[in-house]
Amino acid sequence: MQKGEIMTKQHFIALADTIKANRDTIGMKVIRILADFCEQQNPQFDREKWLNYIAGTHGPGGGKVK
């Protein structure tokens, strides 16, 4: 990613996948700090959808996991 570019949905999903794989080690405080950062990077970032995906309750598109 070049300086000045905004993070895209694909970037947020890739970041979430990494966090999801390590969420027990990382802890919720750090995950929320990262969510704050993501909100600053892209005004269309959906914080709740992203956190739900990391928690495993929703898929990367926002739909609930069955």
User: Does any domain span residue 63?
Assistant: no
51: nearest Cα among 12, 7, 6, 11: 12
User: Does any domain span residue 19?
Assistant: yes
Q: What is the pLDDT of residue 47?
A: 95
Q: Read off the pTM.
A: 0.82
**Cβ–Cβ under 8 Å, residues 16 and 55:** no
**Domain limits for position 20:** 9-55
Q: What is the pLDDT of residue 26?
A: 92
Q: Could you list the pLDDT tens digit for every one of the 66 residues in the chain?
A: 788 889 999 999 999 999 999 999 999 899 999 999 999 999 899 999 999 999 999 998 888 987
4 residue type, one letter: G
Look at the chain and report how many structural domains it folds into: 1
| Gap between the Cα atoms of 4 and 12, Å rounded | 16
User: Does any domain span residue 18?
Assistant: yes
Q: What is the pLDDT of residue 42?
A: 93
User: Does any domain span residue 34?
Assistant: yes
The number of beta carbons lying within 10 Å of the beta carbon of residue 19 is 19
Q: What is the pLDDT of residue 61?
A: 85
